Amino acid sequence: MSGAGGITTLADHKRRRIDELTARTSEGGGVSLIRDAGRRLLRNPTAIVGAAIILLFLIIAIFAPLVAPHDPVQRFPELTRDLTVDSVPGASAGHPLGSDPLGRDFASRMIYGARQTLFVGVLATLIGLLFGVLLGAIAGAAGGWVDVLIMRVTDVMLALPSLLLAITLVALARESTQWTVIIAVAVVNVPIFARLLRGSMLAQRESDHVLAARALGVRRRDIVLRHMLPNSLTAVIVQATLTFAVAILDAAALSFLGLGDPDINRAEWGLMLGVDGVRYLEVRPELAYFPALAIILVALGFTLLGESMREALDPKNRR
């Protein structure tokens, strides 16, 4: 019976062939969760559609000044000439989508809208994410009474339904500016992110590699920063993607309630839909339809991507 060197009888080319064949069939064995998920994501048509929508939206947002025919806040004499309170001029030469209720170029406002909407959505999400992650990380890392306190606070915040909390925050704000809206929408998400991260970190805390690190005497701060946090972030990132859609919908709802961004010079889709859109639904439905469609599309894009990410990261789907 031969020992460890039993393959000596094998010709070299065949050995290579085995290695090659082995490598092929064992694909998917040692690949990390995230890379694996990424691969599955790329194969998922839903994710592709979502990502494509977002990409398109991003490109328009970034290159708005190049794409848009005009300045979005300029009032044009040729548009104000025919503008009255009960009729808004439609398409004309140089103004493919016609005027908005103040004689500004509607097409340009739609295009710049991508930028402003992205701004509101991203900031609201990021601020929520930042504070949520901070609170969640502190709670998850510290444990004890700190954890209890933070969780109680998030309980109080979660006690109010999201949009209601945002409405209340706007009502309770000292000033009403675009930031009021962004922060109100952001704050709503803080407890969600905090709880998500904390839960995931608690699971991490008991995991083997954290226990091992602790046994090796790694400093607590390093354990949290290097081991617990990165591994807990994936769930949070997925949530952030989904949050973006909610954020722009909430911003639109606030505008509709008259509690949104008060600066109507700002071309933001939610503002355009919630303020002018519904008012001019009969006089010029495009003023409502275009921003609404844009919002639906973008929300759809982020939802599609977020859900596919969640699906891809779900260990249950690793087969």
- Residues 110-129 touching another protein, rule: CB under 8 A, are none
The single residue among 48, 58, 75, 134 that binds another protein, judged by CB under 8 A, is 75
DSSP annotation of 89 reads -
Of positions 43, 219, 220, 318, contacts another protein by CB under 8 A: 43
Q: Which CB, 227 or 286, lies closer to another protein? A: 286
Q: Between vectors from CA 70 to CA 69 and to CA 71, what angle results, nearest 5°?
A: 150
Q: Does 296 bind another protein (CB under 8 A)?
A: yes
Could you tell me which stretch among 106-114, 196-204, 222-230, 282-290 binds another protein (CB under 8 A)? 282-290
Residue 199 near another protein by CB under 8 A: no
Q: Say how far residue 173 (Cα) sits from the centre of its chain.
A: 25
149 lies in the site for another protein, by CB under 8 A: no
Span from 58-66, 204-212, 213-221, 277-285 in contact with another protein (CB under 8 A): 277-285
> Which residues 228-247 are close enough to bind another protein by CB under 8 A?
245
Rg (CA), the chain: 26
State residue 84 phi and psi, 5-degree precision. Answer: -130, 175
Which residue of 55, 149, 171, 225 would you call a contact of another protein, by CB under 8 A? 171
Of 56, 102, 142, 202, the one binding another protein by CB under 8 A: 102
SS3 content of the chain, % helix, strand, coil (to 5): 75, 5, 25
* CA distances (Å), origin 254, targets 129, 164, 169, 260, 262: 21, 10, 11, 5, 11
Q: Of residues 45-74, which lie at the interface with another protein (CB under 8 A)?
A: none
Using the rule CB under 8 A, is 32 a contact of another protein?
A: no
- Scanning 13-21, 123-131, 134-142, 217-225 for contacts with another protein by CB under 8 A, the matching segment is 13-21
Q: Give the C-alpha distances (Å, rounded to integers) separating 152 from 174, 183, 186.
A: 26, 21, 19
* Encoded tokens for 312: 């891809």
Determine the size of the site formed for another protein (CB under 8 A).
78
CA distances from 2 to 5, 11, 17, 140, 164 (A): 7, 17, 22, 54, 75
Minimum distance from CB of 100 to another protein (Å)? Answer: 10
CB of 210 to another protein, least distance (A): 27
Among 176, 189, 200, 308, binds another protein (CB under 8 A): 176
Residue 89 touching another protein (CB under 8 A): no
Among 133, 139, 123, 314, smallest CA distance to 236 is for 133
Whole-number Å distance between alpha carbons of 160 and 244: 20
